[in-house]
Structure 1
Amino acid sequence: MHVAYILNSYPQPSHSFIRREIRALEAQGHTVTRLAMRAGDAPLVDTQDVEEAAATTYVLRAGALTLLMAVVRSFLAEPARFLSALRLAVSCGRRSEVGLIKHLIYLVEAAYVTQYCTAAHATHAHAHFGTNAATVAMLSAALGGPAYSFTVHGPEEYDAPRALSLGEKVARSKFTVAITSFGRSQLSRWAGPDHWDKIKVVHCGIDPARFPEPLPMPDGPPRFVAIGRFVEQKGQLLAIDAMADLVRSEPQAHLTLIGDGELRNAIENRIVEHDLTNNITLTGWVDEARILSELQAAHALLMPSFAEGLPMVIMEAMAAGRLVIATYIAGTPELVVPEQTGWMVPAGDATALADAMRALATTAPETRTRMAQTARARVLARHDAQVEAAKIAAHIAA
């Protein structure tokens, strides 16, 4: 089977789950062509991401003349089909927040993608995220390209389902992937009931080989790690407020913030404001080996998000034998079981977050270890990348 993966910007440090899915498919004997509209804008610190960038074809690098020639060839080959795809692009553009012009650009990209897939003999296209990559895949299919599917992660897609034409994309797809049951329920709100059976739950996966038998929990004061882009929805500012509360009773508590982004200055200022420079460390983006090392040095992953799909870092923390303190949102409760694999708190409540961190600090070490073992067993049973990639392949072949 030859699958073209249609992506917006790839690779990105926060999209390692796409890389794992692609490589799992390849390990199972399938051919995967990587087609991204553009390269990611974040620096690539992981050698695997560097390798993926070298293996990816970037559509916009083809140049304006090549892209326009793809449009001309598409029109001349099948004028009626091209005009139908143009009407679809216009219809989606009028609903969209990004406007008509961008959707005409997506049509141009789709013409190039269609011809590239035809030349490469790709028989199916799969996009990640229900945004522009899925639009390009849908328009490519309308132009005569391969049938498509796409994975919806959330939360961005659920914030603007009509503007993204999610219902249209589901209806035209061969199948649509939700990464959680919660996600499937949200897609079912925008797709007609006659299309619900197209919506499949396929989890994002981890590589169990990367997570050998976990190291024992560290001794000493409570240590937490939070991983993610420095943006509002990830809630790092709330985590700093919770740390300010926690250190009143646990003055040696420590939080490592891994990531970077537009809120870095605000985060640095909040740390100084609360006099927490000795309690909070910022690392910037790091590679997967460093992430595992930081998880092993901590007692728990802190996930104070306001909106999510189901974060990969939760799976990685549990696989590493660490507990999770997360907000009770979206698909997270499908993996984190309160007082069995961690603690769940209401989103936006710094006091509740601090109380959960304090609960971990006062939990007996043997209880923490037992909970961590339960967490590891649960995630390995539900989120093996090879198993989940095989589900994708089976849905494509069905």
Structure 2
Amino acid sequence: MKLAYIVNTYPRPSHSFIRREIRALEAAGHEVQRLAMRADAAPLVDPDDRAEAARTFRVLDQGPVALGAALLRAGLRHPLRMARALRLAWACGRAGRGGVPGTGGPLRHLIYLAEAAVVAGRIGGADHIHAHFGTNSATVAMLAGVLSGIPYSFTVHGPEEFDAPRALALGLKARQAAFTVAISSFGRSQLMRWTDAADWPRLHVVPCGIEPLRFAKPAPLPPGTGRLVAIGRFSEQKGMLLLVQALALAAPRAPDLHLTLVGDGELRGAIEAEIARHALADRVHLTGWLDEAGVRAELAAAHALVLPSFAEGLPMVVMEAMAAGRPVLATAIAGVPELVVPGQTGWLLPAGDADALADGMVALAATPPDRLAAMGDAGRARVLARHDITASAAALAALFARSDG
């Protein structure tokens, strides 16, 4: 099949799961055209991301004149399709309340319609349009589908979509789609809240996946105890500030605890200030963004991954840690309990509770190495059986083919 993939910002360090999905589809013989509204403002450190950037068409790079011309051409060629697309854009615009990417009033949705016209003009011959995230990328995919007559679908990840489901018109987008994908059962349950029961059969769970060949036999656990790694964007939803506070609470009870923070973001300054306030500079190391090889190296150097998030979808970092044979200490939110089994592959803790997080870190540091290794082995077996990207891509391709038929 010929597929058109639409993402708002692509590629970016936190979206490696999209790259893996595209790569698996191409390995299965499908042709995938990459379209993004814009490039990531942050520099790309991973060579695979830089290669993806070279293959991605960026709509907003074309400039306002090109967007206006594409809108005019689409209206002249298919006036009835344009009328329907205008009605949908207006409906989405009325639902939008602003404050979340992909929301906004009717004027902003006219811009999305112009973006969709550019997309529709680029994807002639495509069998299916698929968007990642239920924000403006799904809006553009829906409108491009109307203008081109090509069926569309989208994958909802969370948590952003579930923060503003009405403003994002999730129910309307799902009703217009050939099908909608959630990456976890939890995600599907949230979609069911905002869609009609008649649309539920077209809500499918297709989890994100890892590339097993990139996770060969895990490295043995490092010497000592209590080396933790946390990986993610330094944003409010990831809970990194709380993690530093919890480490300060745990440190007197577990002298060997050490934390490596992999990532970056708008809260870096606040995190650095919190580290200094608690005099934890000798216990916390910030690496910045790393490529996939660097992430795997940090996992190999750790005894466990810690995920202190307040909101998530189905975290890829948890899958990667499990594939690397490392147990996981995580908050029991969203799709995380579908990955982590307490007592078998790690620990689940209440979100937003620094004391509970500290207790979990102390318990992990006190766990014998052979027990940690056994938990890591169990996690690896679980993720390889349930989250192989080849299987997930095959499931998606089957849905694409069914919608085309």
Place the TM-score, normalised by the shorter chain, in its bin.
Answer: over 0.9
Pairs within 5 Å for 1:83-98: 83-97=83-97, 98=104
Q: CA–CA distance in 2 between the matches of 1:70 and 1:146?
A: 17
Pairs within 5 Å for 1:1-398: 1-97=1-97, 98-118=104-124, 121-398=125-402
SS in structure 1 opposite 2:40? coil
Paired amino acid for 1:176: T
Task: Summarize deviations over 1:70-113 as a string: whole Å, max 9, x none.
Answer: 11111111222212211210111111022222111000001111
- Alpha carbons 2:225, 2:366 under 8 Å: kept: no
Q: CA–CA distance in 1 between the matches of 2:328 and 2:160?
A: 23
**Superposition deviation, residue 368 in structure 1:** 1.0
Q: CA–CA distance in 1 between the matches of 2:64 and 2:278?
A: 51
- Alpha carbons 1:221, 1:250 under 8 Å: kept: no
> Match of 2:101?
none
- Coordinate RMSD, CA, aligned: 0.8
- Alpha carbons 1:130, 1:164 under 8 Å: kept: yes
SS in structure 1 opposite 2:269? helix
Q: CA–CA distance in 2 between the matches of 1:392 and 1:302?
A: 30
**Superposition deviation, residue 64 in structure 1:** 1.9
**Superposition deviation, residue 366 in structure 1:** 1.2
Task: Summarize deviations over 1:193-222 as a string: whole Å, max 9, x none.
Answer: 111011110010100011001011111131
Paired amino acid for 2:118: Y
SS in structure 2 opposite 1:33? strand
Percent of aligned pairs with the same residue? 61
- TM-score where L is the length of structure 2: 0.97
- Alpha carbons 2:225, 2:303 under 8 Å: kept: no
Runs of 5+ unmatched residues, structure 1: none
- Alpha carbons 2:236, 2:267 under 8 Å: kept: yes
Q: CA–CA distance in 2 between the matches of 1:17 and 1:384?
A: 12
Q: CA–CA distance in 2 between the matches of 1:130 and 1:273?
A: 39
Q: CA–CA distance in 2 between the matches of 1:6 and 1:367?
A: 44
SS in structure 1 opposite 2:90? helix
- Alpha carbons 2:245, 2:354 under 8 Å: kept: yes
Paired amino acid for 1:73: R
Paired amino acid for 2:54: A
Which segment drifts farther, 360-369 or 184-193?
A: 360-369
Task: Summarize deviations over 1:264-321 as a string: whole Å, max 9, x none.
Answer: 1100000000000000000111111010000010011110000000110000000000
Q: CA–CA distance in 1 between the matches of 2:56 and 2:375?
A: 41
Runs of 4+ in 1 over 6 A off after TM superposition: none
SS in structure 1 opposite 2:201? helix
- TM-score where L is the length of structure 1: 0.98
SS in structure 1 opposite 2:224? coil
Gap change, CA 1:368 and 1:221, over 3 Å in 2: closer
**Superposition deviation, residue 62 in structure 1:** 1.7
Q: CA–CA distance in 1 between the matches of 2:178 and 2:80?
A: 22
Runs of 5+ unmatched residues, structure 2: 98-103
Paired amino acid for 2:378: T
Paired amino acid for 1:76: L
**Superposition deviation, residue 254 in structure 1:** 0.5
**Superposition deviation, residue 375 in structure 1:** 0.3
**Superposition deviation, residue 63 in structure 1:** 2.1
Q: CA–CA distance in 2 between the matches of 1:252 and 1:188?
A: 45
Q: CA–CA distance in 1 between the matches of 2:376 and 2:233?
A: 25
Q: CA–CA distance in 2 between the matches of 1:284 and 1:149?
A: 34
- Alpha carbons 1:115, 1:145 under 8 Å: kept: no
SS in structure 1 opposite 2:123? helix
Q: CA–CA distance in 1 between the matches of 2:149 and 2:238?
A: 37
- Alpha carbons 2:305, 2:318 under 8 Å: kept: yes
Q: CA–CA distance in 2 between the matches of 1:268 and 1:284?
A: 12
**Superposition deviation, residue 240 in structure 1:** 0.4
Q: CA–CA distance in 1 between the matches of 2:78 and 2:265?
A: 45
Paired amino acid for 1:4: A
- Alpha carbons 1:117, 1:145 under 8 Å: kept: no
- Alpha carbons 1:258, 1:284 under 8 Å: kept: yes
